Amino acid sequence: MKFSAAAILSAVVAVSANPTVARAEPVFAVSNFQAGCIPHSSQCRYSFDVIKTGTGETIPVSCVLLKTSNNVLPDVTDGTCIDSSRTFSFKRRAEGLTFTVSQQITPSSNQTGTYLIPKNDFIFTKTTTASVEEYTGPKAFTLTDQTI
């Protein structure tokens, strides 16, 4: 029994100390995040500011998108940021929305950060004509290089 406990403990220590185990690194910091569908409209809006972490960047890039939808925040594959090469996307999944920001680093490579926005950060607000989805979670969070 003592040997089994020692062997298990050694394996746990070896795995946790293994430098090849992937760790999520911050890539982008998002602030002023807002998302919601506009009452009495067919449009939904995403907006946020973003900086690249670890670079000394202090002036955020603004990103805004209006997209037609049926009162539910839509998937986005082609979001662009103002005066920047940064792009963004949103993909709905069972757990929430996967939010991705990408920036071209070289002609053949991009740096990408992702964040899973949990489904409980969204609510439906009833209006006189429909129920519209809106984001109610934190306004600031970090996107990491971990694939979600």
Q: How many residues does the chain have?
A: 148
Q: What is the DSSP letter of 10?
A: H
* Residue 3 DSSP SS3: helix
Number of other residues whose CB lies within 10 A of the CB of residue 82: 10
Pair 103, 85: CB distance under 8 Å: yes
- Phi, psi at residue 80, to the nearest 5°? -125, 155
What average pLDDT does range 61-81 have in this prediction?
97
For residue 8, the model assigns a pLDDT of 44
In order of their start, the domains of the chain are 24-144 (2.40.350.20)
Alpha-carbon span 69 to 72, nearest angstrom: 6
Q: How far is 104 from 124, CA to CA, in rounded Å? A: 35
Query: Mind listing the pLDDT tens digit for each residue in 12-41?
Result: 444 445 555 567 899 999 999 999 999 988
Q: Per residue in 113-134, pLDDT tens?
A: 999 999 999 999 998 888 999 9
Tokens matching residue 144 = 């990491």
Please check the confidence at residue 70 and state whether its pLDDT lies above 70.
Answer: yes
Per-residue confidence (pLDDT) for residue 3, from 0 to 100: 47
